[in-house]
């Protein structure tokens, strides 16, 4: 059983975000924040359904009944996309903000770290309960914040690099316009 198949069995349907086909027959996903935030971002060029899972990482309540949150450990990013394509195995943690000044960068870093901890928990569950001893071991992390979502979309070219492999080096995208999955994970 593939890592993606295990995750699809592990994660509740209510926490998954489905892929849809665009007018060209390619896969895309719309990451949506419900009201009162009420904004969305679409990522085009997604892998096939069997190669990817999109998880709304903040779908479950913050673990504040267990943790103090003194270091922000109860925070989580909005979405996690885990993909296993023939080219790359990637875990993409995404935090979305309506405006550039919605949250300080230190808080966004905490949210991205929280999403990474969520994935680590899923990884441990896969290893222990599915007996998949190398579950998610070969994956690389990528961290992205998407800001100014409610601002009029403009054709901006972001500098995409492969070094957004830790929350402190997150890829920052502003006023997103036609985001491509391969560019978010550092592909060309």
What is the model's pLDDT at position 156? 45
Distances (CA, A) of 116 to 44, 86, 111, 156: 23, 23, 9, 28
d(C-alpha 99, C-alpha 132), whole Å: 41
Q: Which two tokens stand for residue 5?
A: 């198949």
Greater confidence (173 vs 83) lies with 83
d(C-alpha 183, C-alpha 186), whole Å: 5
d(C-alpha 76, C-alpha 61), whole Å: 10
First-residue to last-residue Cα distance in the chain: 29
Which residues have CB under 8 Å from 61's CB, separation 6+? none
What average pLDDT does the chain have?
89
pLDDT at 179 over 70: yes
Q: Which two tokens stand for residue 139?
A: 């994956």
CB neighbour class for 71 (10 Å; exposed up to 12, middle 13-18, buried from 19): exposed
Segment (H or E) for 106? helix 105-129
Interval 62-88 mean pLDDT:
90
Lowest mean pLDDT among 31-35, 81-85, 174-178: 174-178
Residues 32-68: pLDDT tens digits? 988 888 889 999 999 999 999 999 998 888 888 888 8
Residues 112-168: pLDDT tens digits? 999 999 999 999 999 999 999 999 999 999 999 998 876 655 544 455 556 889 999
pLDDT at 175 over 90: no
């Amino acid at each position: 059983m593939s890592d993606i198949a295990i995750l699809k069995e592990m994660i509740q349907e209510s926490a998954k975000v489905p892929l849809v086909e665009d007018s060209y027959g390619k896969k895309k996903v719309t990451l949506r924040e419900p009201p009162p935030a009420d904004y969305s971002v679409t990522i085009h060029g997604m892998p096939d359904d069997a190669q990817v899972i999109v998880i709304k990482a903040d779908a479950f309540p913050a673990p504040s009944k267990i943790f103090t949150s003194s270091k922000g450990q109860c925070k989580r990013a909005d979405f996690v996309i885990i993909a296993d394509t023939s080219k790359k195995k990637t875990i993409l943690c995404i935090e979305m903000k309506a405006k550039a000044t919605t949250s300080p960068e230190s808080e966004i870093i905490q949210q991205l770290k929280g999403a990474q901890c969520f994935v680590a928990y899923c990884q441990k569950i896969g290893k222990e309960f599915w007996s998949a001893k190398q579950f998610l071991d070969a994956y690389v992390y990528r961290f992205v914040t998407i800001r100014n979502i409610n601002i009029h979309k403009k054709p901006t070219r972001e500098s995409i690099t492969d070094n957004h492999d830790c929350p402190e080096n997150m890829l920052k995208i502003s006023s997103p316009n036609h985001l491509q999955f391969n560019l978010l994970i550092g592909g060309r």
